[in-house]
Structure 1
Amino acid sequence: MTIINKLTLILCGCIILLPHAIFAQQSEYSTLPPPRKLTTEQAKVAEKNYQKYCALCHGADRQGHVNDHAPSLRSKSLFESGVPHAILRPISYGRVDTAMGGYLDEVGGPMTLDETWDLTYWLFEKAGYQRLKLSTNPIQGDIKRGEQVYQKECATCHGIKGEGVTAPALGNQSALAHNTDEFIRHAIRYGRQDTPMKSFKDKLSSDNINNITAFLRSKASGWKMGKTVLKAFPTPDKYVINKQGDDPHFKLSDDMFVSSDDLNAALNSKKKMVLLDTRVPSVWQTAHIAGSIPFPYYADLNETVEGIPKDVQIVAYCSCPRAAAEHTINKLRRKGYTRTAVLWEGIFGWIQMGYPVMRGDIEDIANK
């Protein structure tokens, strides 16, 4: 009998020689042990934090794409390749220049480090997938060819410059700094289950998947580690800006929205109003419209409306571009605040139109 390989199977006293491929399917990746198990109380707090801070955009059932193209947080390929750090880091520090702000207290967010860790592990437990051990080695590929394939296959959803259109921004510097090449390649190969992001492993060659990965990695140049220098929040006596000014008398579209042009004109004319930044406060620390106050969408209105009069025009904005602001204004209207509006373009649209913001101070910690 010809020996096919060294694998032997002893059956009924006979030695039968079988090819290894018949006996077992070798996995592409080795697996990692599961992360620590949450206690019942930790899981309860983590679920409460998810519903409070995340569900508005990612969905009550973690399905994603409810607002601002926020990704699914139950996708198999994400959780088998991304726990813990690829999940923990965006929760903690956000994604620069996207609607995803940082929720860690050290950057101005509402959660402690333990709470962000627990939320990460809760998401993993809810997803229910085994972790894979992905390589941390760089992926080699043809960057120019990768750009060509990217523009053909990816740009419609992710943007010509990776800025994100109906899908997450792939050219985002903080995401590229946090994620390994293999994490990116794994997402391209296997897609994101239960989302519009399909698998490309049967459509594109391995070389072209490597080329796209290399192209995306090439966009990570220039990233610097920095820490936001936190500012004190405005006190209630500062909530109303231009206290001696006239009423702006905005003409709202759909009884809700004010344009950036009209808001900027009112600010330049020193009109009296209250500006609410409804994002997580960490991004208010980074950049905000001058005079605005941090008023996060998840806040308890009974605690936050003190100091905000009902007879002054209120304008809320966010970066979704409107989801968090609309959510907040609707809550205010239910409490009897009728002089309310939402900035139509959001703060990113405001910035892209050339209107000013107050920039936060960033301490360079790369060499510390």
Structure 2
Amino acid sequence: MTKRITANFFSAMILLQVSTFALAEAPQRSTISPPRTLTSQQAEVAAKNYQKYCALCHGADRQGHANDHAPSLRSKSLMESGIAHQVLRPMQYGRTGTAMGGYLDEVGGPMTLDETWNLTYWLFEQAGYDRLKFSTNPVLGDIELGEQVYQKECTTCHGDKGQGVTGPALANPSALAHNTDDFIRHAIENGRQDTPMPAFKDKLSQADIDNITAFLRSKALGWKDETPILKALPKPEQYIINNQGDDPNFDLKDDMYVSSEELSAALVAKKRMVLLDTRVPSVWQTAHIEGSIPFPYYADLDETVAGIPKDVQIIAYCSCPRAAADYTINKLRKRGYTRTAVLWEGIFGWMHKGFPVMRGDIEGIDD
């Protein structure tokens, strides 16, 4: 048996202690040394990587909520919260079930390990806040009472099951695995400055904040490490679906959008087209519409359009549900690709309506 501590074990230990309540006062935190300083060359590359890969959703000035309710990456309460791992891990591996893909090359993303680290340090340097020292100890509270307060105060933005609505998915297993209880508690207490997330320290008691933290932590139960087995990327000769088929002749909404129902009918009828998955390729590996090719929004068009003729119908999709696809199609149209469209609902809407996707192979890691 492999001897390692899993998220299940950690959560189980917390559940054994839920009858204990936290102290009435918030914890006092000291500051710690900043992460290493980047060289001017590293900072320049990191700044370019941010604009290339992150600005579309997180905003050109890191303000957040530019698309898909992506969080602010300059908020004081976030950037003082023990960076780097709370930013580094979702950047590297993404958030399963959300629009956030993994940008580390090991999972199919475009950045090396060093580049992800340097981008994290760059974000911290740009924010300009001192780092707080956070505890790794569990925050103890009453899970049932925490759920009651959560349902009253948090569901409008984060969903009744923590799935995320206009705010992040708080029950996301990856987030719960990488964020400490103290990190979660600090976010509830202080909110996220200059975003819709308010500070609750003056509205809720310290016990209530502890209870919500314990409730959110309990959602880590059942989490299991999984490793995707990467598929080989399609070759140019595979880009066109049903090369001998007829043209789909879509009637586009606003001269841009096609519905999931229309696209599905065209696929069933074996119409000739090209499907572009404009997300980071790591999430294409996890789930994609059959026949689609990874065509990330940040890629160099001179490389990605190779093998795609201008007389074929092109449909792009993303998960936010349209920002990256809109961005890509507008770039293609400027290049003279006029037979282009965007899937209106995005891939999450496509799946929600019950249309099929191809899922990457997953290798489980036994405890």
TM-score, normalised via structure 2 length:
0.92
Deviations 1:341-368 (A, max 9, x none): 100110011111111101001222354x
* Partner residue in 2 for 1:269: 269
Q: Deviations over 1:180-216 (max 9, x none)?
A: 1111000000010111111100100001001111111
- Counterpart residue type for residue 273 of structure 1: M
Counterpart for residue 296 of structure 1: 296
On the 8 A contact 2:89/2:178 being kept in 1, the answer is: yes
Question: For the residues of structure 1 that align with 2:91 and 2:192, how far apart are their CA atoms?
Answer: 19
Q: Give distance in 2, aligned partners of 1:267 and 1:138.
A: 50
Residue of structure 1 in register with 2:309 after alignment: 309
Structure 1 equivalent of residue 12 of structure 2? none
Residues in 1 aligned to 2:316 and 2:163: alpha-carbon distance in whole angstroms: 24
SS at 2:80's partner residue?
Answer: helix
Q: Compare CA radii of gyration and give the structure with the larger one.
A: 1
Gaps spanning 5+ residues in structure 1: where? 1-25
Q: CA separation in 1, counterparts of 2:74 and 2:336?
A: 38
Output the CA distance in 2 between the equivalents of 1:222 and 1:39: 42
1:1-368 alignment to 2 at 5 Å?
A: 28-367=28-367
CA contact (8 A) 1:226 1:366 kept: no
Cα distance in 1, alignment partners of residues 123 and 82 from structure 2: 11
Give me the whole-angstrom Cα distance separating, in 2, the residues matched to 1:123 and 1:334.
Answer: 32
* In 2, Cα distance between equivalents of 1:364 and 1:54: 30
| Shift in Å, 1:232 | 1.2
Given that residues 242 and 270 in structure 1 are in contact (C-alpha distance below 8 angstroms), is that contact kept between their aligned partners in structure 2? yes
Query: C-alpha distance in 2, partners of 1:51/1:225?
Result: 31
Q: Provide, for residues 230-258 of structure 1, a one-character-per-residue CA deviation record: whole Å limited to 9, x for no partner.
A: 11110000000001111111111111110
Paired residues of 1:68 and 1:321 also in contact (CA < 8 A) = yes
Alpha-carbon contact 1:67-1:320 (below 8 Å) kept: yes
Give the 3 Å change call, closer, same or farther, for CA 366–121 of structure 1 in structure 2.
Answer: farther
| Distance in structure 1 (CA, Å) of the matches to 2:366 and 2:61 | 38
Secondary structure of the equivalent of 1:341? Answer: strand
**Partner residue in 2 for 1:18:** none
State the TM-score, normalizing by the size of structure 1.
0.91
- 8 Å contact from structure 2 (residues 82, 133) kept in 1: no
Q: CA deviation at 1:110?
A: 0.3
Q: CA deviation at 1:220?
A: 1.2
RMSD of Structure 2 on Structure 1 (CA): 1.1
| In 2, Cα distance between equivalents of 1:179 and 1:265 | 43
* Cα distance in structure 2, aligned partners of 1:299 and 1:27: 45
- The CA distance in 1 between the partners of 2:334 and 2:279, in whole Å, is 20
Distance in 2 separating the partners of 1:365 and 1:121: 31
Quote the residue 2:18 is aligned against: none
Equivalence for 2:3: none
Shift of 1:177: 1.1
- 1: CA distance, partners of 2:141 / 2:164: 23
**SS of match in other structure, 1:276:** strand
Pick 1 or 2: higher relative contact order, CA cutoff 8 A, min separation 6: 2
Stretches of structure 2 lacking an aligned partner (at least 5 in a row): 1-25
Q: Contact between 1:107 and 1:227, CA under 8 Å: does it hold in 2?
A: no
- Paired residues, what number? 342
Give 4+ residue runs of structure 1 displaced > 6 Å after superposition: none
Cα distance per residue 1:278-330 (max 9 Å; x no partner):
00000001110000000000011111101111111100000011000000000
Give the 3-state SS of the residue equivalent to 1:342 in structure 2: strand
Q: Distance in 1 between matches of 2:95 and 2:320?
A: 13
Any conservation in 2 of the 1:58–1:70 contact (CA below 8 Å)? yes
Verify the 8 A CA contact 2:82 2:134 in the aligned structure 1.
no
Aligned partners of 2:158 and 2:165 also within 8 Å: yes
